[in-house]
Structure 1
Amino acid sequence: MKLFDLINKLKNAIFLVDASGVLYSSNGFLAQASKTFNYLQTKSPTFLASNNSYHYINDIKKNLHTDGNIKLNLDNIISSGHGLAKDPTISNLIENKIIYFIGPDSAKHYALDAPIKGLTKDINKAEAIILAGFNESQSQDILETVTTKAKKDPSLPIICCNKDRYIRANQRLQPVVGYFAEKIENSLNRPIHWFGKPLKNFSNLVTNHLNAHNLIPNKSTLFFDDNIDNVVSMQNHLGISGCWVKKTGIYFNENEKDLIIKYGKPTYSIETFNLNDTIKTY
């Protein structure tokens, strides 16, 4: 069965689509991905569901349109950055606090949407630290700055709102904010606070977002992601169907059987996010 056939077979469907590794890579939009996404939008409610606290939703919307010819309403973008304002546990950690925010200026709007007291550029004045996104070239200085401050103040909340360790960059994996946040966590020998796929808190965000649109996740809800862990976790959390996109994602060099033993079975898999690709059912 082709993806096209599955899409047309589902009744009262809802579509959730990851971004990096499904729609695009470091080289730009993947072949047929825009066409596939746009087709989904003609069939049923379609949402972007992404670990992306590096870009604010306005920028995500603009990039989708400019680079991928995808028109998507802001309210159809579910980003892990939303956890700062919309997740009760995370929001409570930063409520009425001065925040040292590590990420692009535009992404600071995720923090400004939350009930914080304000932002500071002086880490010594910080009452909480948010790790939203930064480049590998910046990582060493950031790691030293954050760990030094956190060791002086063991009660200081550190929040990483993107649990991704890597993204696909050509034929290699490029470390991103989750990778470096884990280094900070290990250096401090204490847990930091995480938000994003594959955690239950992101699945809760998705449920609440869909409910606000009078939609209820069910088996006719189909979630596409290049990370099998994310796919299986959201399947289990929400009782939905998942489709693992294999060829263009982070596990392109891994053994499928080993990954399924480790993470469990997705409902489906597909090589690329392409209407004409064949769906494998597990």
Structure 2
Amino acid sequence: MPDSATAGLRSRNTRALALLSLAVLWTAACSSPVGDGPGTDPTAAPPLPGPEDGSNTSGEDGETSGDDEAAPPGDGPLGDRVVVIDPGHNGGNAAAPSEINSLVPAGHGEKACDTVGAESANGYAEHEFNWELSLLVQERLEADGATVILTREDNEGVGPCIDERAEIGNENEADAALSIHADGGPESGRGFHVITPGEVPDLTEEIVEPSALLAEDIRREYLEGSDIPYADYLAEDGLDERTDLGGLNLSTVPKVFLEAGNMRNPEDAELMEDPEWRERAADSIARGVATYLLRN
């Protein structure tokens, strides 16, 4: 696990208590009468506890103090939920062109197995960013009881292919699947966007609506917590519906792609290269996913 992940560890009990508060707030919000007061939005999420709401009781050696024992896996407000996190690309892709360029099913034809991904002007590779951020999100969701499955086990391998990544979510009957990426857009453009599946006959009809809800929850929390605005060079208000991505077309569970920022934009890249920022970004992503999971 990267140093950035270790540095941000909070106790499982602290996080579980924070999300338990979220669950109580969500239940109360859902039970309120629709239109109860001016400006009420019955679909909006309640205020969520921020990362500062829990204290970090770890000592300098990273060990948790004896009076704050870690909660066992599955013990928390998300204890019955399964989340698949897909860190985009992989560190070995560039060295295996024949493998990642091979064609695989994409739901509307065939596409390349995978790609190399983008990188910042300083050489910070997208596959590394995706991996580090995914580990942080995994840590937060597991601390609140969720079962989190990653589509790859390290950042040195090749692939898996886009159809295999979708199948991992399907086989595990995930309650939500999130593919984490960073864009390689124009240097002058900045911002993030969330990609949702459009309707592809006989493939995505059942996941379009729940995926849109997942996207909205992540978009709201990420906008507030990441200090990165909506993308100003594509998408609309941070949302982009697409039918050309095999990872979405082949999914049978609610799934979205988060393009967390534009690595070729200096402002976005400066944030994305900062380990402390990645901690905050992971907080906001996990809060968005948790809000979606607690809807049901």
- TM-score scaled by structure 1? 0.30
More helix by percentage:
1
More strand by percentage:
1
